[in-house]
């Protein structure tokens, strides 16, 4: 049989296990031109919460009663497609199913001899590529500048900070526990760090950690931390809006300070993006990340959870900060 995870209902606020449904289907058979894939590794990411809302966004929302999907590493177990051989591994946006068929469109082969398969969902996958392209296309950090990163202990934030160090920046991270604060400094080389959970005045804390102001802010959180960062931006600063995890579970539209005058007075660039905006640059980005890894300039952490049935809980745990780096489920 073939286990499948469906979106049972749209979450209200923080997702719960009741929002998901497990069913069993007959294992599919590949038609001519198709391959049969067996799921090996599943990526769970905060942005999936946005797709659970019934609203227009940069990507189609999930449908109630239909399987969810995310980045997955799968093994080709049968092939009726000349471009794929049995035993090869592929990476792509696939459904939360143990087995599924595909015509191969949108799938990329991955080499488990060059890097661990899980790395293609993390530092060599969309996670690392997001950090790299956000900085390269929007942040454009220069040697001697100050880079501030929120969600700094997370999968994207930890890579963004390390790239900043490679570029010669002073890097300050914001995270939510003393253990995470220690980790980003000791393992990832951040110059300073702020624990937002023990900070009463975030604007002041950023000013103290960034005495020369902030030139580039890589934002994974949004909300009040973004407000505080904006108040510390230098002239011609760049704000990279990559994520807003602090807002994903809000049922009401959040309000905050007006930013127009701040942006105008300091000639600040503030730009949101999704990694798919720069899809033509994926190859060069992955190549550069791999080169830095080979020279031990990049480190990464993974939180690995076992079992297909664990996928929904692993996703929910992201919102409690239970992951160290990239959250991956081994099926």
**CATH number of domain containing 69:** 3.90.180.10
Region 279-297 average pLDDT: 94
Residue (of 252, 185, 195, 240) closest to 214 by Cα position: 240
Q: Are residues 71 and 143 in the same domain?
A: no
Residue 285 belongs to a domain: no
Per-residue pLDDT for 26 more than 90?
yes
- Asked if the structure places residue 264 within a domain, the reply is yes
Residues 6+ apart with CB under 8 A from 136: 281, 285
Query: How many structural domains comprise the chain?
Result: 2
Least confident piece of the model among 52-61, 116-125, 156-165, 306-315: 52-61
Q: Are residues 113 and 135 in the same domain?
A: no
Q: Is residue 77 assigned to a domain?
A: yes
Residue-range definition of the domain harbouring residue 237: 127-276
Residues 184 and 117 in one domain: no
Residue 224 predicted with pLDDT over 90: yes
Q: What is the pLDDT of residues 175-203, one digit of tens each?
A: 999 999 999 999 999 999 999 999 999 99
Q: What is the band of 251 on the pLDDT scale with cuts at 50, 70, 90?
A: low
The answer as to whether 81 is a domain residue is: yes
Region 207-217: mean pLDDT is 98
Q: What is the pLDDT of residue 272?
A: 96
pLDDT tens-place string over residues 263-278? 999 999 999 999 989 9
For helices 202-209 and 223-230, what crossing angle results, to 10°? 50
Q: When comparing pLDDT for 151 and 256, which is higher?
A: 151
- For every residue of 224-268, DSSP letters joined together read HHHHHHHTTEEEEEEEEE---TTTTT-SS-------HHHHHHTT-
Question: Do residues 239 and 233 lie in contact, with contact meaning Cβ atoms separated by under 8 Å?
Answer: yes
pLDDT score of 58: 78
- 193 in the same domain as 158: yes
pLDDT score for 257: 84
Residues 6+ apart with CB under 8 A from 198: 178
Position 12 in a domain: yes
In this structure, is residue 245 part of a structural domain? yes
pLDDT in tens, 105-149: 999 999 888 889 999 999 999 999 999 999 999 999 999 999 999
User: Stretch 78-102: mean pLDDT, rounded?
Assistant: 97
In this structure, are 239 and 178 located in the same domain?
A: yes
Residues 109 and 226 in one domain: no
Query: Do 131 and 247 belong together in one domain?
Result: yes
Our CA angle for 231, 232, 237, nearest 5°, is: 105
3 pLDDT exceeds 80? yes
What is the predicted pLDDT for the residue at 245? 79
Distance, in Å, from the CA atom of 204 to the CA atom of 155, rounded to the nearest integer, reads 26
Residue 288 counted as domain residue: no
Q: Could you tell me the pLDDT band of residue 168, with boundaries at 50, 70 and 90?
A: very high
Q: Are residues 206 and 245 in the same domain?
A: yes
Q: What is the per-residue pLDDT for 256?
A: 78
Residue 113 within a domain: yes
CATH at residue 171: 3.40.50.720
The pLDDT mean for the chain works out to 95
Do 41 and 91 belong to one domain? yes
Confidence tier at 42 by pLDDT (50, 70, 90): very high
Say whether both 9 and 101 belong to one domain. yes
Q: Are residues 171 and 240 in the same domain?
A: yes
- One domain, residues 135 and 243: yes
Distance CA 233, CA 236 (A): 8
How far apart, in whole angstroms, are the C-alpha atoms of residue 41 and residue 53? 25
Q: Who has greater pLDDT, 57 or 201?
A: 201
């Amino acid at each position: 049989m073939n286990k499948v995870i469906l979106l049972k209902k749209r979450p209200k606020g923080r997702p719960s296990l009741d929002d998901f449904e497990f069913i069993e289907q007959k294992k599919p058979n590949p038609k001519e031109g198709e391959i049969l894939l067996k799921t090996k590794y599943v990526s769970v990411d905060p942005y999936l919460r946005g797709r659970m809302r019934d609203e227009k966004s940069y990507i189609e929302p999930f449908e109630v009663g239909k399987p969810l999907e995310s980045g997955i590493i799968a093994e080709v177990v049968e092939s009726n497609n000349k471009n794929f051989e049995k035993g090869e591994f592929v990476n792509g946006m696939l459904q939360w199913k143990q087995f599924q068929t595909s015509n191969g469109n949108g799938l990329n082969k991955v080499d488990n001899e060059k890097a661990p398969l899980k790395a293609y969902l993390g530092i060599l996958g969309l996670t690392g590529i997001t950090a790299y392209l956000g900085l390269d296309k929007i942040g454009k950090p220069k040697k001697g500048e100050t880079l501030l990163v929120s969600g700094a202990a997370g999968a994207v934030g930890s890579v963004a900070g390390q790239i900043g160090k490679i570029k010669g920046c002073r890097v300050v991270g914001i995270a939510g526990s003393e253990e995470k604060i220690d980790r980003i400094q000791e393992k990832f080389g951040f110059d300073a760090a702020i624990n937002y959970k023990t900070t009463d005045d975030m604007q002041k804390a950023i000013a103290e950690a960034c005495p020369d102001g902030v030139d580039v802010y890589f934002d994974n959180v949004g909300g009040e931390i973004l407000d505080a960062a904006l108040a510390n931006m230098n002239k011609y600063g760049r704000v990279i809006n990559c994520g807003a995890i602090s807002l994903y579970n809000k049922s009401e539209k959040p309000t905050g300070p007006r930013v127009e005058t701040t942006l105008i007075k300091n000639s600040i660039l503030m730009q949101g993006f999704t990694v798919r905006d720069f899809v033509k640059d994926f190859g060069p980005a992955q190549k550069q990340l791999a080169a830095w890894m080979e020279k031990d300039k990049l480190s990464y952490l993974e939180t690995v959870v076992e079992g297909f049935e664990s996928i929904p809980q692993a996703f929910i745990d992201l919102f409690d900060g239970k992951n160290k780096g990239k959250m991956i489920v081994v099926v």
